A and B are shown apart, each in its own frame.
Chain A
Amino acid sequence: MSHLLELRHLDKRFGGIHVTRDVSFQLAPGDRLALIGPNGAGKTTLVNQISGVFPADSGEIWLRGENVSRLSQAQRVRAGLARTFQITTLAPHFPVQRQIELALFEREGLGGCFWRGIDSFPALQAEARALLARFGLQGQAATPTQDLAYGEQRLIEMALAMALRPQVLLLDEPMAGVPKGDGERLLAALDVLPRDLAVLIIEHDMDLVFRFASRILVLAEGAVLADGTPDEIRRDPLVRAAYLGHGEATRHA
């Protein structure tokens, strides 16, 4: 099986609302898939199902040739899946470096280790610092996370996901709410993601989507409206009508 991630006929309802309708797609190593669609299309709900926050009603999720549909969130992370959150989800009082170390301990299976101090893992500490340096955050290693600028907290979301060394990365609006100036570091971080990593990104900034993605999947009312290369999506009359709508105007919105 060459796909890293495969969704098969995923379906989910919240009460009377059909939030995911028969969604199927695959991700291969190196894919850059952008998931776009109007607000309420079910993009984040889909990411939550893939990462295991809640189960789908029907359909299957396969990760690296294994059916993970019934696995817990933690087990899926260990199988190579990492995600970021649209709304910054961090431990606010933790110093930045500790935050990264949390991810490293968990990745190394040390989360249950109660007999050693957290300062007795120099290799992991060095790795945490190297990772922070990669994101330009080495100066804030000891700063409580909540004291960082919002754009920097978004970077930590990414750094935490990368600390897990995933094979599939789900980015839920990494640029959400980031002022234009601060966006540069995030864009740079996106550009240097490992080549063979499969990335699914939810993003509203169409410039970024068309620059970053090798494939675009359009979601509307929980169903896949279109799936193709950026050029195909741009020309798709259905997508233009439903989402891109006013052509150039929204692209720069």
Chain B
Amino acid sequence: MNALSLFKTRALASPQDGDGDAASPRCAPAWRAPLVMLALGLAACLLLPDQLGLLTRIFIMGLFVLSLDLVVGIAGLATLGHAAMFGVGAYAAGVFALRVMPDPLVGLAVGVLAGAVLAAATGAFLLRYQGFTFLMLTVAVAQMVLSLAHKARDWTGGDDGLSGYVMGPLLGQFQFDLEGRLAAFYALAVLVVCFYAARRLVDSPFGMAVRGIHENRARMAALGTPVYRRLWGMYAAAGALAGAAGALSAQTTAVVGLDSLSFSLSAEALVMLILGGAGRLSGALVGAAVFLVLHHTAASINPYHWLFVVGGLLMLVVLVSPAKAVAWLRNRRGGRA
């Protein structure tokens, strides 16, 4: 809904013509937010050279939550099985590096493809259902993928995880270093590109139709929108981004575990999305950053009670909508001036 609230604020700011004609609503340029993201990410990497591991993780989870936002915030489909696409992307990239070739970018493409194919295949079935049924079926599908990965020990390493592969140099010349500098920049670059692509997708006629379905399915059907096909397209696109995130994770940590397919990963991603605000893409990145920084700092202070803080924050965010918070702030500011 962010794009929508963006329309709104811009419309309010736009001058009115003499005839009383309101200006047309316009989208913000698709490159703006990704560029801000890039600047912030680079600044963080340069200012916090000791935290590159954490930053890399934030970039990767940010990408994953971004892909979840396409499903939850844009298409309006609540899912708790999104880790399936992340994990499949991770395993695909890992297996590819181990058995075929270690080139990171080709491996990334393989991960993207794996995520998209799994989403397209499962979505073809899942998207016939709505609401609670859909939610439960996403859990079921993710659990099935998890148990398949568990059984296919020869390929995935089962409980031990998949490891033993070494990534080749990026673009044929930059080696992954031990401090994780390249890993961080690589993850950031992929995130920024994917963020831009997602922004473009959401602000296209296709993306607008999907948001229309989220807002009112019956209305879109009455306009002649093939609802199922549109949702399927968005679901597959989200699967591709989740696969990219999984591949990044496999490549930067050089290990893939079964936890990359787990229910708790799906649930955590949903918590991050709600923390940052669903439906505006940038919220996904904010949510991932807040959650992981909190995890990092709070867990080092008290490893048992950090979830208490997350729970409290979540309550706050859910009970006080961002719109209300902004309105409250504006009122206060207005009152003082």
Chain A residues in the interface with B (C-beta under 8 A): 51, 53, 72-74, 77-78, 82-83, 85, 89-95, 97-98, 101-103, 105-107, 110-119, 121, 125, 129, 133, 138-144, 160, 164
* Bound Cα distance from A106 to B224, whole angstroms: 6
Encode B1-30 as 1/0 by CB contact (under 8 A) with A.
Answer: 100110110110010100111111111001
* Bound Cα distance from A90 to B222, whole angstroms: 10
Contact of B201 with A by CB under 8 A: yes
Contact of B226 with A by CB under 8 A: yes
Q: Is the CB of B8 within 8 A of A144?
A: yes
Q: Give the interface centre of B19, B201, B225 by most chain A CB atoms within 10 Å.
A: B225
Encode B187-210 as 1/0 by CB contact (under 8 A) with A.
Answer: 000000000000011011111110
Q: Which residues of B contact A139 (CB under 8 A)?
A: 16, 20-22
Q: Is the CB of B22 within 8 A of A85?
A: no
Q: Is the CB of B216 within 8 A of A91?
A: yes
Q: Which residues of A contact B204 (CB under 8 A)?
A: 113-118
Within 8 A of A (CB), among B213-270: 215-216, 218-227, 229-230, 233, 237
Point out the residue from B206, B216, B221, B222 that lies within 8 Å of A112, measured CB to CB: B206
Q: Which residues of A contact B23 (CB under 8 A)?
A: 141-142
Q: Is the CB of B26 within 8 A of A113?
A: no
Q: Is the CB of A89 within 8 A of B215?
A: no
Q: Is the CB of B205 within 8 A of A85?
A: no
Contact of B102 with A by CB under 8 A: no
Cβ-closest chain B residue relative to A124: B205
Q: Is the CB of B21 within 8 A of A138?
A: yes
Q: Which residues of B contact A141 (CB under 8 A)?
A: 21-25
Q: Give A183 Cβ to nearest chain B Cβ, in Å.
A: 22
Point out the residue from B208, B224, B227, B229 that lies within 8 Å of A118, measured CB to CB: B208
Q: Which residues of A contact B107 (CB under 8 A)?
A: none
Cβ-closest chain A residue relative to B207: A114
Chain B residues in the interface with A (C-beta under 8 A): 1, 4-5, 7-8, 10-11, 14, 16, 19-27, 30, 200-201, 203-209, 211-212, 215-216, 218-227, 229-230, 233, 237
Q: Give B28 Cβ to nearest chain A Cβ, in Å.
A: 10
Q: Is the CB of B223 within 8 A of A77?
A: yes
Q: Give B45 Cβ to nearest chain A Cβ, in Å.
A: 30
Q: Which residues of A contact B20 (CB under 8 A)?
A: 138-139
Q: Which residues of A contact B25 (CB under 8 A)?
A: 95, 97-98, 141-142
Q: Is the CB of A142 within 8 A of B14?
A: yes
Given contacts A89-B218, A112-B230, 20 further A-B contacts (CB under 8 A): A53-B221, A72-B226, A74-B221, A74-B226, A77-B223, A89-B216, A93-B4, A95-B7, A97-B24, A102-B212, A106-B225, A111-B205, A112-B233, A114-B200, A114-B207, A114-B237, A117-B200, A141-B22, A142-B14, A142-B24
User: A94-B215, A97-B24, A106-B224 known; A116 and B11 CB under 8 Å?
Assistant: no
Q: Which residues of A contact B7 (CB under 8 A)?
A: 95, 98, 142
Cβ-closest chain A residue relative to B30: A117
Q: Which residues of B contact A142 (CB under 8 A)?
A: 7-8, 10-11, 14, 22-25
* Bound Cα distance from A114 to B238, whole angstroms: 14
* Bound Cα distance from A91 to B3, whole angstroms: 14
Q: Give the interface centre of B8, B216, B218 by most chain A CB atoms within 10 Å.
A: B216
Q: Give A94 Cβ to nearest chain B Cβ, in Å.
A: 7
